């Protein structure tokens, strides 16, 4: 599946659902404020082309309406989303088909699963620029700070990829990350999340946990990563099922993990069990600031790769907090 973020943005522009903004904007508070006002009006997705202190543009509000979310799922209407639901339900409880029509339905779903298998891209665009060790500088990525009481700059739409150290099964989740230094970030994941489980297991085995963060991927892959699916099912396969063909993956440069080949940026690093940082607070969707986590797992990155002229995709939790901390 060669679809990527750029193609989705192109599609939005062709359909009159993307506004380019040439004026200089500040990733500190200003981008989120403008994006939130536009979102309230049901406005278009936004591409900020000149961001203060950054060389890269920032895209926001891509999935800001039901219509755009359908398009991201390669669908034209909400009714098609329901059909997808039926397909997924068949996969979840595959009872033996009793009638010929059921058999054909089930067979078609199995065919979809075969078509959905991920494939390997040997010359992935995400490796066009490779920066290692001291060259890694996460401050160059135009992360936003959405609200005035927020604890720092945040990544909200990164795919966090880890692997079970016993079974080798990968997990892909979307978890909030806070910038801590030019090569570290903390992660905020619930204890039930796949990444948290993998870290506990790595700790039990006395190992570090390898991690890759893919930024700026096809929104359809983000939807698959944010779908709660059984632990032994692959989010890559789900993305392929959503999109009708397998996701193109690339092998990371310094960790034994795979990422979407067309990611705009990829961060590669490790978490050492027990190494933590202070994370938060951040405004959340309830309209209040969440707490401070003084023991958030710390990720250390040794490699940063990106496409030529990458763009950064972000979002933020609505609704805006009603009170300061
Ligand atoms: C924009 C966005 C932000 C999210 N942020 C978090 C987060 O900070 N922490 C968390 O535990 N889950 C977060 N989630 C939810 C998880 O990504 C989602 O439940 C996913 O299915 C978890 O995958 P897993 O069960 O494989 O760990 C977020 C989802 C979205 C769409």
Are residues 260 and 159 in contact, defined by beta-carbon separation less than 8 angstroms? yes
Report phi then psi at 239, rounded to 5.
-60, -40
Residue 168 in any domain: the answer is: yes
Q: Is the pLDDT of residue 94 over 60?
A: no
Residue 214 in any domain: the answer is: yes
Are residues 168 and 143 in contact, defined by beta-carbon separation less than 8 angstroms? no
Tokens of 262: 């067309």
For residue 262, what are the domain limits? 118-313
Distances (CA, A) of 179 to 183, 277, 307: 8, 10, 21
pTM: predicted TM-score of the whole model, two decimal places: 0.93
Are residues 109 and 87 in contact, defined by beta-carbon separation less than 8 angstroms? yes
Residue 30 in any domain: the answer is: no
Residue 59 in any domain: the answer is: no
Q: How many domains does the chain have?
A: 1
Among 108-112, 173-177, 202-206, 258-262, which stretch is predicted with the lowest mean pLDDT?
Answer: 108-112
Q: Is 284 part of the annotated catalytic residue set?
A: yes
Instruction: Check which CATH number belongs to the domain holding 156 and give it.
Output: 2.30.110.10
- Please report how many Cα atoms fall inside a 13 Å half-sphere around the Cα of residue 94, on the Cβ side: 12
Residue 41 in any domain: the answer is: no
Give tens-digit pLDDT for 34-77.
999 999 999 999 999 999 999 999 999 999 998 999 999 989 88
The minimum-distance atom of ligand 1 relative to the CA of 228 is 21
| Binding pocket residue ranges, ligand 1, CB within 6 Å | 156-157, 171, 173-176, 188-190, 193-195, 226-228, 315
Residue 95 in any domain: the answer is: no
Residue 154 in any domain: the answer is: yes
Q: How far is the CA of 175 from the centre of ligand 1 (A)?
A: 5
Q: How far is the CA of 195 from the centre of ligand 1 (A)?
A: 10
Q: Is the pLDDT of residue 79 over 90?
A: no
Residue 270 in any domain: the answer is: yes
Are residues 144 and 282 in contact, defined by beta-carbon separation less than 8 angstroms? no
- Rounded to an integer, the average pLDDT of 9-15 is 97
């Amino acid at each position: 599946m060669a679809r990527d973020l750029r193609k989705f943005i192109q599609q939005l522009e062709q359909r009159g659902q993307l506004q380019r903004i040439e004026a200089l904007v500040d990733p500190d508070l200003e981008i989120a404020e403008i994006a939130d006002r536009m979102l309230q009006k049901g406005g278009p997705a936004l591409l900020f082309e000149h961001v203060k202190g950054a060389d890269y543009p920032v895209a926001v509000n891509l999935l800001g309406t039901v219509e755009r979310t359908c398009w991201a799922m390669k669908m034209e209407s909400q009714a098609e989303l329901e059909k997808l639901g039926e397909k997924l339900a068949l996969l979840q409880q595959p009872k033996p088909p009793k009638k010929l029509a059921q058999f054909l339905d089930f067979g078609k779903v199995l065919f979809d699963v075969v078509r959905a298998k991920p494939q390997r891209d040997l010359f992935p665009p995400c490796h066009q620029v490779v920066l290692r060790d001291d060259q890694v500088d996460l401050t160059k990525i135009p992360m936003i700070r959405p609200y005035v009481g927020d604890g720092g700059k945040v990544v909200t739409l990164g795919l966090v990829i880890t692997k079970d150290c016993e079974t080798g099964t990968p997990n892909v989740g979307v978890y909030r990350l806070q910038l801590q230094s030019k090569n570290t970030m903390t992660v905020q994941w619930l204890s039930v999340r796949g990444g948290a489980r993998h870290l506990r297991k790595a700790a039990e085995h006395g190992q570090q946990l390898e991690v890759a963060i893919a930024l700026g991927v096809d929104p359809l892959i983000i939807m698959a990563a944010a779908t709660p699916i059984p632990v032994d099912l692959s989010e890559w396969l789900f993305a392929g099922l959503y999109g009708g063909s397998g996701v193109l993956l690339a092998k990371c440069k310094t960790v034994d993990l795979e990422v979407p080949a067309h990611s705009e940026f990829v961060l590669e690093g490790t978490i050492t069990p027990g190494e933590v940082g202070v994370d938060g607070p951040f405004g959340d969707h309830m309209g209040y600031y969440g707490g401070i986590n003084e023991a958030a797992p710390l990720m250390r990155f040794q490699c940063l790769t990106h496409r030529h002229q990458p763009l950064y995709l972000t979002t933020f939790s609505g609704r805006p907090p009603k009170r300061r901390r």
